[in-house]
Amino acid sequence: MRLRIGPMPSRPAGDWFVLGLGSNLPHAGRSGMALLRAALEALAGRGFCPIARSSFWESAAWPDPALPAYVNAVALAEAGGQPPLGVLQALLEIEADFGRQRGPSLHPNSHERWAARTLDLDLLDFGGEIMDMEGLILPHPRMSQRNFVLAPLAQLAPWWRHPVSGRSAADLLRTALPGALRQLPEESGQAKMAD
């Protein structure tokens, strides 16, 4: 898999989607950056074509910062002819393959939405489409508030605009909810294009 690391200078051609990735628990001997890389490989294995990804970012768990910190990234991928619901279903299956458990919280003081997890894959945008149907709202309804989504998205796709508000990720980041966030260095030897 050839994947561009860093800014994508222009909007991709064809049908594309923006994917948010996050993890704060290990799975099968992998954690953090290695786990998110493996998730992108799993996406490619399901017929999608990851084009580019942001740097990795570390964010504090919320609302309970005592939980392990998250490693986050944003990626652009070609949909391979799949509709948004097909992409969403594939993301849920990949999460399950990586040990994601949905249901009661894994931490007694944390609501399920914010529970620690091995892998979280969010369909953030699908080619600028706007939709609201059972199980899928596009663009992702909370992405405009999340600095751990907007900072990597601003880095990866400066051309991107929110399909409803028309604001850039960098502009949305100015008014996003605050929280500890830092860009992580790429591991030594990591090329700008990864195989």
Contacts of 49 (CB under 8 A, 6+ apart): 77, 78, 80
Residue 3, Cα to own-chain centre: how many angstroms?
15
State the catalytic residue, choosing from 53, 120, 125, 146.
120
* Cis, peptide link before residue 139, omega less than 30° from 0: yes
Q: Report yes or no: 163 and 131 within 8 Å, Cβ to Cβ.
A: no
State the catalytic residue, choosing from 15, 64, 97, 122.
122
Q: How many angstroms separate the CA atoms of 61 and 24, rounded? A: 8
State the catalytic residue, choosing from 37, 100, 125, 146.
100
- Tell me, yes or no, if 117 is annotated catalytic: yes
Distance set, CA 185 to CA 5, 8, 90, 92, 140 (Å): 12, 18, 29, 28, 27
- Tell me, yes or no, if 167 is annotated catalytic: no
State the catalytic residue, choosing from 37, 53, 117, 146.
117
- Tell me, yes or no, if 100 is annotated catalytic: yes
Contacts of 135 (CB under 8 A, 6+ apart): 85, 88
Which H/E stretch holds residue 147? helix 147-156
- Tell me, yes or no, if 122 is annotated catalytic: yes
Q: How many angstroms separate the CA atoms of 114 and 172, rounded? A: 22
Active site residues: 100, 117, 120, 122
